Structure 1
């Protein structure tokens, strides 16, 4: 039995595009994509982190035809295939990688790219229980995939709305899942599972840059909870100075509040990243490491440039805390979390960032578990009683589920 992949079978995507080879999920809407001219953001938003097929079926065999896009960095080690994870009634039931597909070759030194078209791949999951069940196929968090058809030995219908709260999260490549073991093992996916919420992941590798079109996408996305992890990409790209940063954050929050005036909104400052704590960007590839076949990053700025307004993670944390304190006087649904509570100095001593910028799989789990404990627990900003050690949410004003 063949079922075309259609938008009603997808969760976590803000838009879809019908291509000549299937359905391409997008994590930014068409209007935002039309206003973007950056190739890195275009690639990141098309990588379906947090996006999953969700359907009910009694099938014992499920096949998915997909066209993945493999990234190759010239001079760097080969990247592993993206992972597709199967869940049955919310529990892991299989995982697979898709061979074949297209190849995108990127030159780290120049940014030049070359795209080669390849054949589609078929994923097969067999031995599933022969009863009616909810099935999810989580798509790779770091590999674009055009989805064609499902083949099953029993009919497929979309999963009905479970009535769970929707959590929309925006952040950098760490939020997208760089370094995670798979799509359900990114820290936002882990936190969402622990918090019992439906995830919309707007983690955009290299592109958490306070873009107005991203703020409008969040404004227009139905959500019961919103979080923003801001800062590291602004340092990576050396995009703005302190003078511009504060007003840009205010504008980003103002836009979101146009559509979500009473939604719990959590601003998370950067995780610890030793190379950029007190050294501005830009971030550069470590060419010595690349020549040895390793991908590693370094801070290319000068600490003395902080005096002229260049941003470091320390500066950004202080400014974000100040902005939230200022706005909280009139916004009782706004909260702040220092990112070092999720990953700080003690964590870096035992679980250092392998490439000096991104966490590994164990660290993703630690961050996800800590976020869930801080945000979704009793007294947390997404829990039943307000922010931890901060202030309680006004009685009777919680947004209905």
Structure 2
């Protein structure tokens, strides 16, 4: 005869969460944020607000003898008018570091975005529950990684045995900032975004400030990184500056200097890795902005195209190759006085041969297999002996 567990409800506090920089109280529970309130107050952009509240890399971490876990959550899922439905977000359950379950939450809100006008409308929905029954007996360390592609309000955590914070394993903390690719776009699950995979292989704790559409050298992001404790730092720069057509080369180079200067105010000697964009054929030599390409929508595919003109490079418009040249020269210049500053060409993570084998499905974002390849390669390049994040270099 089936009997319901004797549930214990544990308050969800900052002590149970890793990867978030702020925790907002809501009418339903708590909402993890990846930018602090002061940073959020300095920009009214809806894309940034959506991206930073999608908890990429954020996870509940605790120790328990529970064999059943339930998590009530209210998701806000993004949908695009006229486009195929986006896949549901996935919750990854890790037990003692190994994947032990995957679930999605039902219900929730839908943020409907019209890409032709930029307007958005929220359609409300109910709180849902993610259930992980049948876990092994005995005390264990549990991690529940939240979906990278859904804004998440955590409502209640229930277990059939007491919960306590997991012990500090003494791992180094890697703080990473990048675009939607770092955010996780089109990865299979939250633990298989390329930064999460690289962090696992490197044996480090990840704080992922990959912000879809919002890796734009914003000063408030640099200040958030300056003020966040970290042992290793990386900044991936390129694609968002091109596909938003945000600035020209004259503004770009000083903006990068300023971004790095701000980080260095809080982390003067921390290994700091500047990474340029992975290969993106539509923008290698053609400026932005990017525009939606609806020509294959009937086949269920939304793609992107470059709306700029290669001739506009003469006027200072940015392309990925222009940015790579500027970044490599800038890092070389600064490294004369900053021996802990490094540069990595993003095409070493995903280049021409990779594109031939694993083309970008929408012409900008990698698929799940490419995330795995990028995570493996970053770990091999950054964390291996002699790499910028190797144990002998890390502070």
Q: Specify every segment of 5 or more residues in structure 2 that has no aligned partner in the other structure, as ranges.
A: 1-7
TM-score normalized by the length of structure 1: 0.96
1:288 partner SS: coil
Q: 2:110 pairs with 103, 126, 129, which one? A: 103
- Answer yes or no: is the 8 Å Cα contact 2:226–2:267 preserved in 1: yes
- Answer yes or no: is the 8 Å Cα contact 1:75–1:291 preserved in 2: no
- Answer yes or no: is the 8 Å Cα contact 1:238–1:311 preserved in 2: yes
What's the C-alpha RMSD, in Å, of the aligned pairs? 0.8
Range 73-82 or range 191-200, more displaced: 73-82
Which residue of structure 2 lines up, in the alignment, with residue 31 of structure 1?
38
The CA deviation at 1:292 is: 4.8
- Answer yes or no: is the 8 Å Cα contact 2:69–2:132 preserved in 1: yes
Mapped to 2, the partners of 1:92 and 1:314 lie a distance apart of 39
Mapped to 2, the partners of 1:185 and 1:197 lie a distance apart of 15
Mapped to 2, the partners of 1:287 and 1:80 lie a distance apart of 19
- Answer yes or no: is the 8 Å Cα contact 2:304–2:362 preserved in 1: yes
Q: 2:72 pairs with 42, 56, 65, which one? A: 65
2:354 maps to 1:338: no
- Answer yes or no: is the 8 Å Cα contact 2:57–2:206 preserved in 1: yes
2:296 partner SS: helix
Q: 1:356 pairs with 360, 363, 369, which one? A: 363
Which residue of structure 2 lines up, in the alignment, with residue 313 of structure 1?
320
Deviations 1:359-385 (A, max 9, x none): 000000000000000000000000034
Deviations 1:52-108 (A, max 9, x none): 000100000000000011111010001111000000000000000111001110001
2:74 partner SS: strand
2:296 maps to 1:296: no
Query: Where in structure 2 are the equivalents of 1:121-200 lying within 5 Å?
Result: 121-200=128-207
Deviations 1:223-269 (A, max 9, x none): 00000000100001000000000000000000000000010000001
Which residue of structure 2 lines up, in the alignment, with residue 266 of structure 1?
273
Displaced runs of 4 or more, over 3 A: 290-293
Say how many residue pairs are matched: 388
Mapped to 1, the partners of 2:46 and 2:158 lie a distance apart of 34
Q: 2:234 pairs with 227, 232, 245, which one? A: 227
- Answer yes or no: is the 8 Å Cα contact 1:4–1:148 preserved in 2: no
The CA deviation at 1:36 is: 1.0
1:20 partner SS: coil
TM-score normalized by the length of structure 2: 0.97
Q: 2:119 pairs with 96, 109, 112, which one? A: 112
Mapped to 1, the partners of 2:163 and 2:364 lie a distance apart of 42
- Answer yes or no: is the 8 Å Cα contact 2:77–2:149 preserved in 1: no
Mapped to 2, the partners of 1:289 and 1:385 lie a distance apart of 50
The CA deviation at 1:291 is: 5.3
